[in-house]
Amino acid sequence: MAEVLVYVDHVDGAVRKPTLELLTLARRIGEPVAVALGNGAADTAAALAEHGAVKVLTADAPEFADYLVVPKVDALQAAYDAVSPAAMLLPSSAESKEIAARLALRIGSGIITDAVDLEAGDEGPVATQSAFAASFTTKSRVSKGTPVITVKPNSAAVEAAPAAGAVEALSVSFSEKATGTKVLSRTPRESTGRPELTEAAIVVSGGRGVNGAENFGIIEALADSLGAAVGASRAAVDAGWYPHTNQVGQTGKSVSPQLYVASGISGAIQHRAGMQTSKTIVAINKDSEAPIFDLVDYGVVGDLFAVVPQLTEEIKAR
């Protein structure tokens, strides 16, 4: 069976959920071989083996420490040369998409980004994407070289599938460019304790209807009762009520959670572009004609200042 390289997103050896989802998809098209880089790379092996990795290639070097992209491209190219895989899968983060693009260029392959599903095809893996502000769902495959595919978080379930997960050291020789950039300083963002927006299983978003930064507390309270991330429409972000890092949509982040709750958001096409692939969509809006209701699984016509706190209390009571 053909091998499929899976790039491992991890923090000091703790594998992040989107990588485990990638393993589920990788098993549909071949045998997953994971590539873990940087501090704690070898510690990822147990979790990866539990979810189907037949082999885990690891490399650690000072070059990986600073979140720079080129050393990782060098390492993935080394893994590609060693394995000759049928495909290479990466999670759709900003960093991974840059790695994927550079890698595809180096190995002379095509790239598909932001896939939301993946299946085996006669002529190679077929990826499903949501295109033109989520107006279309397309299926495509790479017709040249080894497909490099990035997959949006929450596109597949995490499934246990015990495999060998044998750890092998990957030998990497770094290109000149790997050390051409230096990180001068880093300012960590204050943690909210909430899940990362693009990876969260539940997202609760507020829009112009929230009517002020001071009112976002009720959106946050609902999010916290559900263990959710907080999102915002561009109208709310442009008004300065919530940070741009939380914007959902065409010019913000693209999310695909199990549950998306939109409060005081009209459902403009540019907002839909970032959330339309959510599995279940709930909207709270006082205008029964709001376009968001064309999209929802459950809609509440009402004042969010009455509905959202009630919902929060109800969830907390359970």
Beta strand 298-301 pairing with 259-263: unpaired
Using CB under 6 A, pick the residue from 46, 82, 250, 293 that binds ligand FAD: 250
Stretch that binds ligand FAD, among 13-21, 131-139, 144-152, 244-252 (CB under 6 A): 244-252
Told to check if 150 binds ligand FAD by CB under 6 A, we report: no
Which of 66, 303, 313, 314 forms a contact with ligand FAD (CB under 6 A)? 303
Could you give the CA distance from residue 48 to residue 26 in angstroms, rounded to a whole number? 12
Q: Least CB distance from residue 136 to ligand FAD, whole Å?
A: 18
Figure out which of the listed residues 37, 56, 197, 304 binds ligand FAD, where binding follows CB under 6 A.
Answer: 304
264 is in an annotated binding site: yes
- Nearest Cα neighbor of 273 from 88, 101, 130 is 130
Q: Is 267 annotated as contributing to ligand binding?
A: yes
Lookup: tokens for 276: 């339309």
207 binds ligand FAD (CB under 6 A): yes
Give strand pairing partners of 56.
Answer: 34, 167
User: Is position 249 annotated in a ligand binding site?
Assistant: yes
Q: How far is the CB of 299 from ligand FAD (least distance, A)?
A: 11
Closest CB to ligand FAD among residues 54, 284: 284
Nearer to ligand FAD, 109 or 233 (CB): 233
**Could you give the C-alpha distances from 108 to 7, 38, 102, 143, 255, in angstroms and in order?**
18, 26, 10, 11, 30
CB 179 within 8 A of CB 172: no
Per-residue binding string, ligand FAD, 258-297, x by CB under 6 A, is ------xxx-x-xx--x---------xxxx--x-------
The distance of closest approach from Cβ of residue 260 to ligand FAD in the complex, given in angstroms and rounded to an integer, is 12
The answer to whether the CB of 2 falls within 8 A of the CB of 31 is yes
Q: Assess contact for 218 and 312: CB atoms under 8 A.
A: yes
Q: How far apart are CA 309 and CA 318, in angstroms?
A: 15
- For residue 13, give the amino acid letter: G
For the CB of residue 221, give the shortest distance to ligand FAD in the complex, in Å.
16
With tokens 């033109």, the residue in question is 132
User: Binding site for FAD: what residues are annotated?
Assistant: 208, 233-234, 247-251, 264-271, 285
Q: Which residues bind ligand FAD (CB under 6 A)?
A: 207-209, 233-236, 247-252, 264-266, 268, 270-271, 274, 284-287, 290, 303-305
